[in-house]
Chains A and B, each alone.
Chain A
Amino acid sequence: MAKKNARSQEEVKSEMDMSPMIDCCFLLLMFFIVNAAQITVSKDPSVNMPNAVSASEMKDANGCIVINVFADPEIMGAKNAKSLEKYNKTYNPGTIWGVADANQNSIGYNSGQMQELSDFVKKQKDSMESKGIKPEMIRLYLRGDADAPWSRSSGAIQAAAAAGVTNIVFGTLPAQ
């Protein structure tokens, strides 16, 4: 009897090693954190996005230079008071284009600062190219407010074209 007890105590306890699984989880977690940050970069909540019936999925935000185009403050306020509040806190009066620099600081430009906007796009383009992003992958991601006049969106496109960026991506939301 005593012999049998001794033998059962000697049996090796089988335990699952959880550490590799935890490592994997953390890696996945970090991957999604980084991805989410990349896609959500510069998404200004003051912009009421337009809807489109046929648009494709935004899979890769790499190489996108984001320009937000704002509607008139009166229209913005009538649609969403919080949007107007955020806009007033972030930008100077008269701002029609909003961008974010490398440190995610918001910069606003008014209608008379198209050259400055173009310079910003050029700087972003050069910075992306120095990081190894192919020139054809560098695009202008235009987040225009649905109620913004076309002259503002067109001005942003002209500023980008002057900086050598002719691929335009219109940011939209699905219509349904």
Chain B
Amino acid sequence: MARHKKIQPPEEEEMTSNISSMIDCCFLLLIYFLVATSLVSEKKLDINIPSTPTAASSKKPKVDPGNIYVTSSGVVTWNKDLTVGEAYDASLVPGTPAYLQQRRMDSLVESLKLLKEQAQAVEADPVVMLHGSGKAPHQRIVDVMAALAEADIHSVGLSTTADE
């Protein structure tokens, strides 16, 4: 009997799935979405339209309101006497110095900041009205909104003027 060796069954190999590649995939997807969400970066300009005037709010404001006019060609004027933005040129390529120059309206920002200071001096909110021609390009209105945001004014009355 001793001659017969007991034959042992071969050792069973443990079946394990290699999950490292799956983790790699997960991380790749994660990085993709992280990058994608930051790439699609539309910015915003918050503006609040004043509600319908009530009896209490309809009395004369303490500071004269500032009026911004945008003509159909995109010329922007402050209180009708100071030109703060030249005519809109749609042919300019975004990102070029000339394009950036057209987007900036430094003199309008200065005027708006001055108006805000005057209003704060009498503890009132600055009142700004934007009169845009119906044919004025949307880009020019956004330029004005950007100037308002730069001057930290977030409430503006909007009106559409008859095309000149």
Contacts and interface: CB of A to CB of B under 8 A. Distances in A.
Contacts of A18: 19, 23
B23 A33 contact: no
Nearest to B133: A150
Contact of B30 (A29, A69, A175): A29
A29 B148 CA distance: 38
Interface residues of B, number: 50
B113 interface: no
B114 interface: no
B82 interface: no
Contact of A153 (B36, B48, B94, B138): B138
A68 to B, nearest CB: 12
Interface string B93-116: 011000110011000000000000
Contacts, number: 164
Could you tell me the dominant secondary structure of chain A's interface residues?
A: mixed
Given A147-B139, A149-B136, A149-B138, 6 more contacts: A51-B142, A147-B138, A151-B135, A167-B47, A168-B46, A168-B49
Contact of A167 (B48, B90, B94, B158): B48
Given A18-B19, A50-B139, A175-B94, A170 B48 contact: no
